[in-house]
Structure 1
């Protein structure tokens, strides 16, 4: 970000609160520092089309998040959605209807530099066909102010694999970038085995991590588990985002992977989005988490 954000003014505007978590990724201030300070916003797991318990405001949380992000000043450089834009359905007509409704809502974002990837709810039943009709490729890369961003698809394969072809593409993509360039990876599932019993893993994620390991500055942002989680594989930091629909329990903390109940005393608890800042003078990305709040959307 090229201007300093006045947090007090922002908090007054959006009525939000949060905590800062620094990834601990060493060596950010090196020859591969970003060209300018900037920040982006990550939203994940909107599950548009989901209805019923445990979220009585299932059609309200995404519009509320859009309204809150629109109040950010200065605005983020871009916004990324890390999968499960919609809730799964066996009906291909309904799937496209939900994708279209989601697109209509996020078209209200003032920031127009948007990046998307599917979650298994969007893509596993048709290998990403409907998603691509609305949002384009399921894996790709782009550069922004001295940082190389990579979007990986580990959901279009219903078995939860990246696949040999995409891994070859990843190796080729990395081979075309300067070795000292900071790399940020966006994906839906975790690339490491967080809790495979609950499908919180990528079957060939270790192969992607192996390709990334030679890079000194790598950070991974993902969704899928509907909660914050921070993990290191060697020097690579992995950060999970909250959901916009319902929170899930900590890995293995209960017998089944069931959504946590709605807390009427603290509505929207566990739901939210995050802001990620890349600063030239810093040693790491800075993450700030913001909860979804009630009120008009």
Structure 2
């Protein structure tokens, strides 16, 4: 795939919800192979991205602290095979909600932070370490301080695991105080949010702020409210890896626009 050569334009890859450690052959009989296939697919891209971001649920939840660390270590080992070494991580609730992110931080560092790349300011928010699905006042104050240091017309991208808006709270597809984060972001005209958690592609606007969710790399989930329970969609042997994938995002910094391309784990 050809990428633009303008120095102020770039692209990155988003992967999400790998759930390393999940077992369920009716949902994904290749649970131990899908992440490795995704790593191979990204390594096989004709042009490597500027960086890669994993938007949470790196591992599948477990009550056993030793098993949690084992899964985090195994995940880290698998993704170390990526050619691109600039990789940004953030936790999902499966990684962090049971111990407030303690084990996650041992392997990947801070759960919320910022970085800048070619004229874009990136903000990683943690709305999972608090088991109430909140960002929390301390982190909101941190966000406000960071945003106050940015020009009003700054190009801002936010990465988060859960949606910041109320997509479907009945299924935990919301952030309790996400509206406060959105209110802090709203004065900036060039903000885009990329998140995971819902295991499917979804696009939503809160005012001028666009929110884009990513597919999962372990199993797809049903459309919000489409069935009584939030249960994974069964594996389709006729269409293996259906509903799974990752995306590349091409940034046009001059216009603060993002072109999203969804990619399958395995090409048919």
Which TM-score band applies after superposition, normalised by the shorter structure? Answer: over 0.9
Deviations 1:91-150 (A, max 9, x none): 000000000000000000000001010000000000000000000000000110000000
Does residue 292 (structure 1) correspond to residue 265 (structure 2)? The answer is yes
TM-score relative to the length of structure 2: 0.96
1:274 to partner: Cα distance: 0.4
- 1:114 and 1:103 map into 2 onto residues whose CA distance is 11
Q: Does 1:86 align with 2:59?
A: yes
Query: Deviation of residue 181 (structure 1)?
Result: 1.1
Q: 8 Å contact 1:267–1:294 — kept in the other structure?
A: no
Q: What is the alpha-carbon distance in structure 2 between the residues aligned to residue 282 and residue 236 of structure 1?
A: 14
Q: Is the 8 A contact 1:86 1:121 kept in 2?
A: yes
Mind listing any 5+ residue stretches in structure 1 that lack a counterpart?
A: 7-33
Distance, in Å, in 2 between the alignment partners of 1:122 and 1:179 is 34
Matched, 1:36 2:8: yes
Query: 8 Å contact 2:101–2:129 — kept in the other structure?
Result: yes
When the two structures are superposed, what TM-score results if normalisation uses the length of structure 1? Answer: 0.87
Which residue pairs with 2:112 in the alignment?
A: 139
Q: How many positions carry a matched residue from both structures?
A: 266
1:168-205 Cα distance to aligned partner (Å, 9 max, x none): 00000111122211100000000000000000000000
The answer for the alignment partner of 1:103 in structure 2 is 76
Match status 1:229 vs 2:202 = yes
User: Given the alignment, which residue of 249, 258, 276 partners 2:222?
Assistant: 249
2:119–2:253 contact (8 Å) kept in structure 1: no
Aligned residue number for residue 29 of structure 1:
none
The Cα shift of 1:269 comes to 0.2
Of the structure 1 ranges 281-290 and 117-126, higher mean CA displacement relative to structure 2 is found in 281-290
Q: Is the 1:268–1:294 Cα contact (8 Å) retained in structure 2?
A: no
Structure number with higher relative contact order (C-alpha < 8 Å, ≥ 6 residues apart)? 1
Output the CA distance in 2 between the equivalents of 1:87 and 1:49: 5
Residue aligning to 1:49: 21
> Is the Cα contact below 8 Å between 1:46 and 1:84 reproduced in 2?
yes
RMSD between superposed Cα atoms in Å: 1.6
8 A Cα contact 2:19 2:218, kept in partner: yes
Task: Please state if 1:198 is matched with 2:171.
Answer: yes
How far did residue 73 of structure 1 move?
2.5
| Closer, same or farther: CA 280–188 of 1 in aligned 2, 3 Å | closer
Q: Secondary structure at the match of 1:90?
A: coil
Is there any run of 5+ residues in structure 2 with no aligned partner, and where?
A: none
Checking the alignment, whether the CA contact within 8 Å between 2:126 and 2:161 is kept in structure 1 is yes
Taking the aligned partners of 1:76 and 1:131, their CA distance within structure 2 comes to 25
CA distance in structure 1 between the partners assigned to 2:44 and 2:218 by the alignment: 21
